[in-house]
Structure 1
Amino acid sequence: MEHNREVEIDGNSNPIQISRLALDIGGSLIKLVFFSRNSGDDEDPPKDLVGVSSGVNGRLHFAKFETAKINDCLQFISANKLLLGGGFQPQENCTNDRSFIKAVNQEAFTYLNGSKEFVQIDHNDLYPYLLVNIGSGVSMIKVDGDGKFERVSGTSVGGGTFWGLGKLLTKSQSFDELLELSHRGDNRAIDTLVGDIYGGMDYLKIGLSSTTIASSFGKATSHNKELEDYKPEDISRSLLRMISNNIGQISYLNALRFGLKRIIFGGFFIRSHSYTMDTIAVAVHFWSKGEAKAMFLRHEGFLGALGAFMSYETHSLDDLVVNQMMPLPVNASLGTDTNYDPLKGDLNGTESIQCSVYRA
């Protein structure tokens, strides 16, 4: 059943019609996606679209909340008079983000050595691939086609591990605070590198550079120091590096197991954080000897919520046409920000996409 409700957000005089809402409730975060359109918006669909009978112009909105603070999410839903439909969606629905890769221009990209490069994927050459969804834990899903997928592996060492250990070791109170600490840290103060073992030299005989990590947190065993003697920034950096390397290596080994060259990473652990993406990408590049490539998504944190959104019977993201992207704070008006450049931002927080949804 399609639920519609006209509401005003942040005193906007132009009422907004909310037609559907989808939630992905994870162990650490709640991800929310909803579609809205202006009441009275009767614009015809673009003339260059073929096989379209009717369309609705509006926005897809994205928001996130900590699961431990679920009342904040419920208050947001209640305050904005959003209605939920579609029910509970299992994790495998995150594979439905394939349609977003097709619908959104410059959705997928690679990141290596500080360089971000958007990838235009041939829709006829999208499959097969390995989808690695990094939430509190990690699930690895082999996707062979539309509706053809299976969970082939995973690991309990994921975003929840980083957040949990980081909180215990650094007293940080949030995931974002940990990420900010890691940005300022130096893992070499805690990790044992190959160069520490071989007198600052590379170990070229087995292909290891002096900067390769031989043991995460290894220096803590040899230094006569206590926890308070280490900088929280360095601890956070080492922890992030350890978990990201581990995920990158396990992901490649599973891709190798099934002969896959394309690995797509998603989940809110990444947060478009440059160091996280670079570490994962370097791990995949190293272990595959450059044969496999790590790819990331601009909507990485909303795979499950988008999958739930797609479960509605009347619409599908296969029928989604994206016109413009813009960030949207929770309390902001839904007016278009003409100064926003979608190529310079990442849609991974509380934001919206200007779009049209069409019935086939």
Structure 2
Amino acid sequence: MNIIFLSPHFPPNYYRFCVELQALGATVLAIADESPERLRPELRSALTEYRQVPDMEDYDALLRACGYFTHRYGKIDRIDSLNEHWLVFESRLRTDFNVAGIGVQDIMHIKRKSEMKKIFQAAGIPVAQGGLIPTVEAARDLIDRIGYPVVVKPDSGVGAAKTFRLDDDDALARFFSDKPPVDYLLEEFVEGTICSFDGLTDREGHPVFFTSHVYNQGVMEAVNEDLHVSFYSLRQLPPDLQAMGLKTLGAFDVKERFFHFEYFRTIDGRIIALEVNMRPPGGFTLDMFNYGNDIDIYAQWANVIVHNRFTASYDRKYHCAFVSRKTGKPYVHPHGDVLQNLGERICHHGPIDPAFRLAMGDYAYLVRSSDLTPIREAIDYIQAMA
């Protein structure tokens, strides 16, 4: 099986996907702009061949690299990166080389929030009121109908970049005076808790693994207010959230992919769809899958790709939490005290890549427990500030 992996060195933990593919006998071919010498040894050893390109944003360079691989190794069976940034490039390459997976005809349904909203609505899944705002007049018309506060976000974007809450006409005017030259979506501000439905499907679209996470706040607040972040996995999924997640899987026809769906749980208990992401959740969440279930999700993904089998059994035996800190904040408990006092509850800790600093933080702790109370206590302890 010939598999091309784009940018396999980033995020830093993604090298493990290539290692597991190679262990199953796949021919693993990679393209990135990093020099080969700077790739970690485990990744270099897993790659059958690596092509460095000067600029990963240059589609012609990617096209030539894939053409070279096709000439040398034959038909390409899969092209992937598991990275939001490269989804459009992947889709173009799949279409040009007739490779299974999401192609150019489908990519905008999962990249543009306005298109996601149409699919949600067609499936009967509740969404926030709103729409595209090409002009300030269009924005005012929507606000006349739904009222302040509202949220404005790029129609195609990730990580709450350039996403803002607007509370009045002055804020709306300021936004349009400095609006980036991209399509924007305006929606009613939904008050509630963000929760997710995350997992992996096989080639037929059956969910072979799924779980859910509850977030202490939205990424928009973390980015715009420079807040630290925490979220934790659930051992038992609420039936309505699980049903909504499975309905979303069917609506978007997710096959042989990781997925990360986000919803609001409103104060009165309703579930409102926020967005879909056809890639793993960010940060250390893949490792949270592992620590929460005592599995190896990297190996299981590779097994699904190569053999269409998920062989691990899981019962969500632990809650697992991601708890971050941001440099410069006056935390009460130093790092050494966190490790000493939380002990075995800490299953992993380490720095976060600077590229994710605004949304995720500078340093993260993964905490697990079979009970939720120790998880919440650990979050409070790690993030306590003077």
Instruction: Answer yes or no: same fold by TM over 0.5.
Output: no
TM-score, normalised with respect to structure 1: 0.27
Pick 1 or 2: higher relative contact order, CA cutoff 8 A, min separation 6. Answer: 1
